[in-house]
Homo-oligomer: A and B are copies of this chain.
Amino acid sequence: MSKFAQDPTDDICVATIRALAADVVGKANSGHPGAPMGMAPAAHVLFSRFFNANPKNSKWFNRDRFVLSNGHACALQYILLHLLGYKLSMDDLKQFRQIDSLTPGHPEAGHTDGIEVTTGPLGQGFANGVGLGIAQAHLSATFNKEGFNLIDNYTYVFTGDGCMMEGVASEAASLAGHLQLGNLIYFYDDNHISIDGDTAVAFTENVGQRFLSYGWQVLHVDDGDRDLEGIYNAIVEAQKEKNKPTLIRLRTTIGYGSKLQGTHGVHGSPLKADDIQALKTKFGLPADKTFYVPEDTYKVYAAIAARGAALDKKWDALLASYGQKYPKEHAELTRRIAGKLTDGWEKSLPVYKSSDAAQASRKLSEIVLTAITPILPELMGGSADLTSSNLTRTKAMVDFQPESTGLGTYKGTYIRFGVREHGMGAIANGMHAYGGIIPFVATFMNFVSYAAGAVRLSALSKHQVIWVATHDSIGLGEDGPTHQPIETAAHFRAMPNIDFWRPADGNETSAAYYVALTRKHTPSILSLSRQNLPNLEESTIERAAKGGYVVLEEQGEELTIVSAGSEVSIALEAAVQLRSEGVKVRVVSLPCWSIFDLQPEEYRLSVLRSGAPILAVEALSTFGWQKYSHEQFGMFGWGASGPYKKVYEKFGLTGSNIAAVSKKVVAFYKQKGGEVVSPLVKAL
């Protein structure tokens, strides 16, 4: 396999892909024909000569991974999936960008068979690829044995100028170089065109030199439009380099074959009908046929598929014989591939009594990780250079590092992400997409915002990524308003399919981990305090796992205070004072809104019941609390720098001030008169 042999069908295969791309985008009258047409030769060489996957079993664990980071070019990916025989018909191609089709405007993992990761938001796929590479390196180091190369796939990534400009890709590239991920082979579609026209207007850096500085191998193919042999040789070269990721810079012509080739005109608009006809003629295809695939092309791709199916079968046999020789490892690997947690793991979750010492929830999180990571080795992750603040590295953990650094091994599960929050989030998505791993990542709550683009894709693509987000309010104190989240919780509480937890104590922290680990298709953010929190009388893992529950009950109440996280104990302080003054008050803890929303209506209405006003209290923006309360008290602007107790005082977030605010609320609703109905009672 080390010398390129031109096949008589190569040209027609490449032509087919190019013409199909023009047809697919043309029929939709929407989309991006240029990049698919330009990248067709690289795609054909890669898939025909190198790529190992079984289209009839798209989840085969040791398959090569393909990522189209320039996801707008997805016509290319859909065409390849169709030709290879994945569950994507010619009719599906004709439904490109139509409602409820399998061929949406950008590739969506979980939606279309064979799509590994969701791409389109630029730079994400690039970083996902690094996550796929980390997962492969870790799992092969952990499970492969002499004679049993069970896990040895490559990750191939196509990327364009847009991805190359994004900071998230820069972050991931730098880390991939540091980690010496030889299993990564990236194709940079260097076509000199982006949406604003020639890349000369904004992007004149030396990309190759930059990647060399990151520690990558950089190869060049000067005629990516026609030099199949050059592409082939570059991939061979890339595979040979075991200790560096490889970037293959392909100089290509966007929209190759079109009258407008090489211009911005073919980037994001369909080609004209006569242009499509002319290019088909130029490529030796019938000009009058649309969505036409020559028999030879189907044959070539069927053979690729057959090769993949045979590899899959061979791998099954290898796995079976591995099971005979290494039954324990086999059981563990298959458990992890199946995404099943170790039986009884939840018994290790720490449980607290109210007499236990107050601790910061970041510390409580560390105690959970210390308890469960030995039982759930699939928990692999780290921090964006805040390990000693996030408390994410347990004593038993080993760093995930190349052996040559002397700092760890690929068997290690703790990743030093560096100050690269966005890259970290996107890498975690890739790690999860690989399988066998539940990634956790950590930074200050405020800097999860840096990674918002990646968090959104965790949620959209159902990646079970766990964010350990410490220093989650003005309670972080001296670092001041630049570091104190205000709007951050509202942002993630408003996002679909993500659980945002703000635990109030030890049992609630255990509950947050319990739910985060059992929700296989939902990412979670654990928003944790820097300051110590007392353990509540009424908290249990079971109760907190409902997302909301009563922490102080009272019949005939005049007020319910609802709160979350570090302010629950302040609400309880207020309640003690109010009771001493004869005011009847209940307190509810609502650590996770999305989980509370999943509870039966009857339960929810018993927690946030009608009959008395509900006051929400949190040391964050009050935005969104109107859904669960009649009145809100919280942060109405930015925080302040100072010792945390003084900061809480400054903003009135103390037991005595909340008691005063509460009395105002009680008086207001008494004066207003009429029934006070729970905000949960609604028409819609």
Using a CB–CB cutoff of 8 Å, the interface residues on chain A facing chain B are 28, 30-31, 71, 97-101, 104-106, 108, 118-123, 161-163, 165-171, 174-175, 177-178, 194-196, 200-210, 212-215, 383, 385-389, 399, 401, 405, 407, 416-420, 422-423, 446-447, 449-450, 452-453, 456-457, 460, 477-483, 486-487, 490-497, 613, 621, 623-624, 626-627, 630-633, 636-638, 640-643, 646-647, 650, 661, 664-665, 667-669, 672, 674-675, 677, 679, 681-684
Please determine whether A478 and B171 come into contact, CB atoms closer than 8 angstroms: no
Sample 17 A-B pairs with CB under 8 A, ordered by A number. A28-B478, A97-B478, A99-B647, A104-B481, A105-B479, A121-B450, A174-B203, A195-B385, A200-B407, A202-B417, A206-B215, A449-B456, A487-B494, A487-B496, A664-B684, A668-B682, A674-B674
Q: Which residue of B lies closest to A453 (CB)?
A: B450
Q: In the assembly, what is the distance between CA of A188 and CA of B501, in Å?
A: 38
Q: In the assembly, what is the distance between CA of A497 and CA of B417, in Å?
A: 32
A121 and B482 in contact (CB under 8 A), knowing A423-B167, A449-B456, A683-B665? yes
Most chain B Cβ neighbours within 10 Å, of A203, A401, A450, A493: A450
A167 and B165 in contact (CB under 8 A), knowing A494-B490, A626-B627? no
Chain B residues with CB under 8 A of A497: 637-638
Select which of B202, B389, B478 is within 8 A of A30 by beta carbon. Answer: B478
Q: In the assembly, what is the distance between CA of A684 and CA of B661, in Å?
A: 8
Q: In the assembly, what is the distance between CA of A225 and CA of B626, in Å?
A: 55
Please determine whether B456 and A640 come into contact, CB atoms closer than 8 angstroms: no
Select which of B120, B482, B493, B621 is within 8 A of A71 by beta carbon. Answer: B482
Q: In the assembly, what is the distance between CA of A627 and CA of B401, in Å?
A: 50
Please determine whether B631 and A385 come into contact, CB atoms closer than 8 angstroms: no
Please determine whether B638 and A665 come into contact, CB atoms closer than 8 angstroms: no
Min C-beta distance of A500 to chain B, whole Å: 11
A481 and B108 in contact (CB under 8 A), knowing A174-B203, A453-B447, A626-B627? yes
Select which of B171, B209, B416, B679 is within 8 A of A170 by beta carbon. Answer: B171
Chain B residues with CB under 8 A of A194: 385, 418-419
Chain B residues with CB under 8 A of A446: 121
Q: In the assembly, what is the distance between CA of A165 and CA of B422, in Å?
A: 11
Chain B residues with CB under 8 A of A633: 684
Please determine whether B122 and A483 come into contact, CB atoms closer than 8 angstroms: no
Chain B residues with CB under 8 A of A161: 419
Please determine whether A215 and B205 come into contact, CB atoms closer than 8 angstroms: yes
Please determine whether B491 and A642 come into contact, CB atoms closer than 8 angstroms: no
Please determine whether A203 and B97 come into contact, CB atoms closer than 8 angstroms: no
Please determine whether B420 and A105 come into contact, CB atoms closer than 8 angstroms: no
A171 and B178 in contact (CB under 8 A), knowing A99-B641, A121-B447? no
Please determine whether B621 and A623 come into contact, CB atoms closer than 8 angstroms: no
Chain B residues with CB under 8 A of A389: 195
Min C-beta distance of A221 to chain B, whole Å: 20
Please determine whether B162 and A385 come into contact, CB atoms closer than 8 angstroms: yes
Min C-beta distance of A633 to chain B, whole Å: 6
Min C-beta distance of A270 to chain B, whole Å: 11
Chain B residues with CB under 8 A of A99: 640-643, 646-647, 650
Chain B residues with CB under 8 A of A208: 213
A171 and B166 in contact (CB under 8 A), knowing A30-B478, A99-B640, A496-B487? yes
Please determine whether B457 and A482 come into contact, CB atoms closer than 8 angstroms: yes
Most chain B Cβ neighbours within 10 Å, of A204, A388, A630, A669: A204
Please determine whether B101 and A641 come into contact, CB atoms closer than 8 angstroms: yes
Q: In the assembly, what is the distance between CA of A679 and CA of B97, in Å?
A: 41
